[in-house]
Amino acid sequence: MDRNTNGIRRRSTASVGVDAVDRKLLGFLAEDATLSYAELGRRMNLSPPAVHERVKRLKETGVIRRTVAVLDPDLVGKPLLAIVHVDTQGWGKTPAMMRLAELPEVEEIHAVTGDTCLILKVRTAGPAALEDLLAHIYAVPGVRGTRSYIALRTHLERGTAAAIGLDGRDPVTVPMPAQESAASAGLTE
Amino acid sequence: MDRNTNGIRRRSTASVGVDAVDRKLLGFLAEDATLSYAELGRRMNLSPPAVHERVKRLKETGVIRRTVAVLDPDLVGKPLLAIVHVDTQGWGKTPAMMRLAELPEVEEIHAVTGDTCLILKVRTAGPAALEDLLAHIYAVPGVRGTRSYIALRTHLERGTAAAIGLDGRDPVTVPMPAQESAASAGLTE
DNA sequence: ACTTTTCCCTAATATGCTTCGGCACGAAAG
DNA sequence: CTTTCGTGCCGAAGCATATTAGGGAAAAGT
């Protein structure tokens, strides 16, 4: 219901109305949602009520989906991160996916293009737990095979935040250096 | 009903210590960090100050890394999600990685085992923007090639939250991960 | 048995959120 | 050019909430 079931948005590209001030605000909130409205107002030359009004609107329109606490995977007992490619029979759809989504260790499930069908992001207590998890995955009907990539180190992990113009960077349009030469050089598959 | 208030299990070792109550609390906060201490206390039969005390400790010990607003990728102009495998020359190390981390569209960078070196999670405004981004990636010294998996649909995307015993599910056999410098052992932003 | 530590509670204070009415600016209509 | 309407902001007030302080009960350690 809250979904944009209309399908087509009237406004230009993405926008239920997100102006530059909103983007800056979102940038701050996506990095630290505990900032007070007073502090936010100070940072962008606005009064607390004005900030409150914008945040309220952004939540209602769904731009801000929710506010969550980010936990340290190591400290909560899930030090092992793995990306798992899953090959399925046919185009999986939901029955199998639902099963996978029920596993607590599975954080993300994406249906993708390429030489695999599903990409999972999972966190387990260790290699043994990962093996158990893979056993569960294989037990799901329709699963033909998996290919796991174990993360040795995470160099970066942030929200959609940075994509916004937090630090004044232009958001939507990437700088782009030499798009034609480099792009056509060798990425076509 | 009031049994929870007393007889809490002793904290195993002098480590960072995350007991059952903490895990339940973390489960709630990882799903909605805007819940008031009163509400949290009500849900787990604790007084607001008691909850406050625990949350404060969890933040200080680094279990709760930060609190952030989760944005809708579509509504902020980044509807295209892609997983990009990057092959590098030698074992990349940081100079190249630093360059990649500077790109706003890049959300995650993991060094992994398997038939590739790095796995990136990126969000762009569209196919063209992804091409531009790939051009940037190829421009980084040491990058030999990439393989992109475009997400057609995201079936699940949640935090580490679910891995905790929020809904009473037994996480796996875990806890008691680190013993001493666990807080500093984690990824330092 | 006694001490210490841990964890919680009630009560009180302070801080920040949230609402309300009014004003200024810009756009569309007359 | 003037009027009207809509939007977005501000300052002040009321109120919910976070936060601190003091004290007590139970378990762990001596």
Domain CATH code at residue B94: 3.30.70.920
Stretch A132-144: mean pLDDT, rounded? 93
Nearest to A76 among B74, B110, B164 (CB): B164
Residue A141 distance to chain B (closest CA, Å): 17
Protein CA B47 to sugar C1' C9 (Å):
7
Q: Is residue B131 part of a domain?
A: yes
pLDDT in tens, A5-26: 332 333 333 347 788 899 999 9
- Torsions phi, psi for A125 (to 5 deg): -75, -20
Band (B22; pLDDT cuts 50, 70, 90):
very high
Same domain, B63 and B89: no
Q: Is residue A4 part of a domain?
A: no
| Domain count across chain B | 2
Same domain, A47 and A85: no
Contact B155 A111 (CB under 8 A): yes
pLDDT in tens, B26-63: 999 999 999 999 999 999 999 999 999 999 999 999 99
Same domain, B55 and B87: no
B146 neighbourhood in chain A, CB within 8 Å: 187
Residue B39 distance to chain A (closest CA, Å): 16
Contact B104 A163 (CB under 8 A): yes
Q: Is residue B33 part of a domain?
A: yes
Same domain, B103 and B130: yes
Same domain, A123 and A61: no
Handedness of CA B111, B112, B114, B116 (dihedral sign): negative
Beta partners for residue B156, in sequence order: A109
Residue in B closest to A30 by C-alpha? B69
Q: Residue B58 belongs to a domain with what CATH number?
A: 1.10.10.10
Residue in A closest to B20 by C-alpha? A76
Q: Is residue A43 part of a domain?
A: yes
Q: Which of A104, A14, A151 is nearest to B108 (CA)?
A: A151
Q: Is residue B171 part of a domain?
A: no
Nearest to A67 among B33, B97, B145 (CB): B33
Band (A165; pLDDT cuts 50, 70, 90):
low
Structural domain range at position B49: 14-67
Same domain, A45 and A87: no
Q: Is residue A64 part of a domain?
A: yes
Same domain, A124 and A98: yes
pLDDT in tens, A70-95: 999 999 999 999 999 999 987 866 67
| β-strand pairing of B118-124 with A143-157 | unpaired
